[in-house]
């Protein structure tokens, strides 16, 4: 039997969410971004007649990739090697940091340009590079803004989604020698960043990017971008390092197409992003440009343990961000509230699985299970179902049931005896009737202060439905 204990969940998410709800800048930024993603995605889907079939296909491709992941990874590695590149394997974030730093130091690199990489964020690569004397230079506009602000991404596709234009202007004023240059329009801001970052592309020793997919057939890393920074990062320096994870594999180029067809549409409502680039190995004699060295660093970080588990489907994720764009909780509190590189519904599942810290237990609980995420996920990951499994896991791992859990259990026990349940309800209702006097609703209720702090609660009708029904049936009898 579980003991009854006052065991409050760590209040982190709740405290953070309060701060986020009160943060005017954040709320302004969320408001501006909010429905844009939703409408653009819908418009892109409406332009073609068979998006649901494209989703099915993408889901099949992801399942097929994981089914023989070991073979595909080894084949990928073989092909990368044949193309003059090298694959490195990291079990932990720490190993990945060491590997990347080692590769940079071998090149005597002082600077590294960076394209957006969520795996890089997952392992805190920037801090590690800096500490090792390699200056990381973010080149994605959103990531660049965040580097100036010393902040983390709050969205997996639009990292600086939480920043308003005014905040970015202030950051640029503080950090750039602007002189006469204007910053009024978004175009001015973009031009300013373009000018500052352009030189860095040309001078960097190493370029570090992520990858959206790894194509096993040929040992190819595929990268999807709009700005063009990823390509300049991958192409101009002498060394190109890809930081990515083992789950990004797809078997063939045709399989890559199946993913590309849902990725852009789900993420930004684009049929395809401006740039889709496929990098295979190092530059050969025939190539007109490209890096002399090509390294792929593969991160596991507990992913291999999820294979074959009840959470395997989470590895289908293609990082499109649609789930957070459609999540009313994410849209209310923003990404930082999740305290993880992976926010929103996908993060609420992935973070407790990859990090498995006590505080992460809150994340799968902070959902109404409205199901909107699952309904838009291009690879049909049952996100609420996985969150529910994580809630079960939390209870299993817990030594002491909290007050609320104990109440749920008691309620269930009583509910198994409908007669008891009905009498209990009637008893409650009598209490309520005494309490309410003639009021149609309550402004405060003990035990329900979470409710009545923000809303009224209607006074129940005189007795329960079941009692009234029984009464009516009796009266009907001749």
Partner 1 sequence: MIETPSNSSKPKPQVGLFVTCPVDLVRPSIGFATATLLERAGCDVHVPPQSCCGQVALNNGQPEQTRALAWNIVQQFDEYDYVVIPSGSCGGTIKTHYPELFDEHDQRLQAVEAFCEKVFELTTFLTQVLDYTPVQAALDLSAETVTYHDSCAGLRELNIKQQPRTLLKRCANLDITEMQDTDVCCGFGGTFCVKYSDVSNHMVTNKVNNIRRSGASMVLGGDLSCLLNIAGKLQRLEPDNPNRVQVRHIAEVLAGELSTPAIGEHSPALEKGE
Partner 2 sequence: MTDSRSRIIDRIARSTGGNFSTDSLEESFKALTVKHTLPPVQPQMEMADPVATFISEAGRNGARVTELESIAQVTPWLRDNTDNTSTSARFHLSPSILTQSLDWDGLTTTTETPTAAQSWGVVQAHTGIAETGTVMSLSDECPSGLLFLVERLVIVIAREDIVAYQEDAWQRLRARNILPRTVNWITGPSRTADIEQQIQIGAHGPREADYLVIDKPR
Of 365-394, binders to ligand SF4 (CB under 6 A) are: 377-379, 381
Of residues 134 and 314, the one with the C-beta less far from ligand SF4: 314
Min separation Cβ 304 and ligand SF4, Å: 19
Interface map 142-181 toward partner 2 (x if CB under 8 A)? x--x------------xxxx-xxx--x-------------
Q: Which of 221, 251, 142 is nearest to 189 (CA)?
A: 142
Instruction: Provide the strand spans (E) within 158-271.
Output: 206-209, 213-215, 220-225, 239-245, 249-250
**Phi/psi zone of residue 396: left (φ > 0), alpha (ψ -120 to 50 degrees), beta?**
alpha
Min separation Cβ 186 and partner 2, Å: 5
The piece of 12-20, 245-253, 432-440, 463-471 that touches partner 2 (CB under 8 A) is 245-253
421 binds partner 2 (CB under 8 A): no
Contacts of 451 (CB under 8 A, 6+ apart): 445, 457
Contact 221, 214 (CB under 8 A): yes
The piece of 89-97, 339-347, 368-376, 381-389 that touches partner 2 (CB under 8 A) is 89-97
Of residues 334-373, those binding partner 1 (CB under 8 A): 365-372
Min separation Cβ 176 and partner 2, Å: 15
- The residue count for the chain: 478
What sign has the CA pseudo-torsion 131, 132, 135, 137? Answer: negative
Among 101, 183, 249, 322, binds ligand SF4 (CB under 6 A): 322
Alpha-carbon distance of 306 to 300, in angstroms, equals 10
DSSP labels, 32-44: HHHHHHHHHHHHH
Min separation Cβ 114 and partner 2, Å: 13
128 binds, among partner 1, ligand SF4, partner 2, none (CB under 5 to 8 A by kind): none
Of residues 331 and 362, the one with the C-beta less far from partner 2: 331
Among 374, 378, 383, 386, binds partner 1 (CB under 8 A): 374
Report residue 343: phi and psi, to 5°. -95, -170
271 binds partner 2 (CB under 8 A): yes
Report residue 206: phi and psi, to 5°. -135, 145
Alpha-carbon distance of 38 to 292, in angstroms, equals 42
8 binds partner 2 (CB under 8 A): no
469 binds, among partner 1, ligand SF4, partner 2, none (CB under 5 to 8 A by kind): partner 1
356 binds partner 2 (CB under 8 A): no
Q: Which of 143, 166, 164 is nearest to 155 (CA)?
A: 143
Of residues 24 and 475, the one with the C-beta less far from partner 2: 24
Alpha carbon 455 to chain centroid distance? 31
Q: Are strands 206-209 and 239-245 parallel, antiparallel or unpaired?
A: parallel
Among 170, 238, 283, 391, binds partner 2 (CB under 8 A): 283
Give counts: helices (H), strands (E), the chain.
23, 12
Contact 228, 194 (CB under 8 A): no
440 binds, among ligand SF4, partner 1, partner 2, none (CB under 5 to 8 A by kind): partner 1
Residues that bind ligand SF4 (CB under 6 A): 317-323, 346, 377-379, 381
Residues that bind partner 1 (CB under 8 A): 13-14, 17-18, 21, 35, 328-329, 332-333, 365-372, 374-375, 385, 388, 391-396, 404-405, 408-409, 411-419, 421-422, 425, 428-429, 440-441, 443, 448, 450-451, 453-461, 463-466, 468-469
């Amino acid at each position: 039997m579980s003991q009854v204990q006052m065991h409050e969940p760590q209040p982190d998410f709740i405290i953070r969410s309060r701060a986020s709800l009160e943060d005017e800048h954040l709320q302004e930024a969320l408001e501006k971004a909010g429905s844009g993603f939703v409408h653009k995605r819908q418009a892109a889907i409406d332009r073609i007649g068979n998006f649901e079939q494209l989703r099915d296909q993408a889901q099949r491709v992801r399942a097929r990739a994981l089914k023989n992941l070991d073979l595909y990874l080894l084949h990928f590695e073989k092909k990368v090697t044949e193309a003059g590149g090298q694959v490195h394997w990291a079990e932990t974030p720490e190993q990945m940091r060491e590997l990347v730093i080692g590769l940079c130091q071998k090149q005597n690199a002082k600077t590294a340009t960076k394209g957006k990489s969520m795996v890089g964020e997952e392992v805190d690569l920037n801090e590690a590079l800096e500490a090792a004397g390699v200056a990381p230079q973010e080149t994605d506009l959103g990531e660049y803004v965040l580097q100036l602000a010393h902040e983390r991404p709050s969205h997996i596709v639009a990292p600086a989604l939480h920043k308003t234009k005014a905040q970015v202007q202030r950051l640029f004023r503080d950090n750039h020698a602007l002189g006469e240059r204007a910053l009024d329009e978004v175009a001015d801001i973009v031009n300013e960043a373009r000018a500052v970052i352009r030189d860095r592309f040309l001078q960097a020793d190493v370029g570090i990017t992520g990858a959206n997919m790894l194509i096993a057939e040929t040992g190819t890393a595929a990268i999807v971008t709009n700005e063009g920074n990823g390509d300049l990062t991958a192409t101009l320096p002498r060394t190109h390092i890809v930081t990515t994870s083992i789950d990004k594999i797809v078997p063939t180029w045709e399989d890559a197409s199946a993913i590309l067809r849902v990725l852009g549409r789900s993420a930004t409502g684009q049929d395809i992003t401006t740039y889709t680039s496929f990098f295979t190995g190092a530059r050969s004699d025939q190539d007109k440009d490209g890096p002399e060295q090509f390294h792929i660093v593969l991160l596991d970080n507990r992913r291999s343990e999820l294979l074959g588990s009840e959470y395997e489907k989470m590895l289908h994720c293609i990082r499109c961000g649609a789930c957070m764009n459609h999540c009313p909780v994410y849209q209310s509190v923003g990404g930082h509230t999740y305290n993880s590189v992976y926010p929103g519904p996908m993060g609420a599942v992935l973070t407790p699985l990859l990090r498995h810290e006590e505080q992460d237990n809150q994340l799968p609980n902070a959902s109404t299970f409205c199901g909107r995420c699952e309904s838009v996920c291009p690879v049909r990951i049952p996100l609420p179902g996985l969150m529910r499994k994580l809630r079960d896991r939390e209870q299993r791992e817990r030594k002491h049931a909290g007050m609320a859990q104990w109440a749920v259990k008691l309620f269930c026990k009583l509910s198994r005896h409908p007669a008891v349940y009905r009498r209990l309800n009637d008893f409650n209702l009598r209490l309520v009737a005494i309490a309410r006097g003639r009021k149609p609703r309550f402004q405060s209720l003990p035990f329900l202060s979470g409710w009545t702090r923000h809303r009224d609660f209607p006074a129940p009708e005189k007795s329960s439905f079941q009692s009234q029904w029984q009464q009516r049936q009796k009266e009907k009898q001749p």
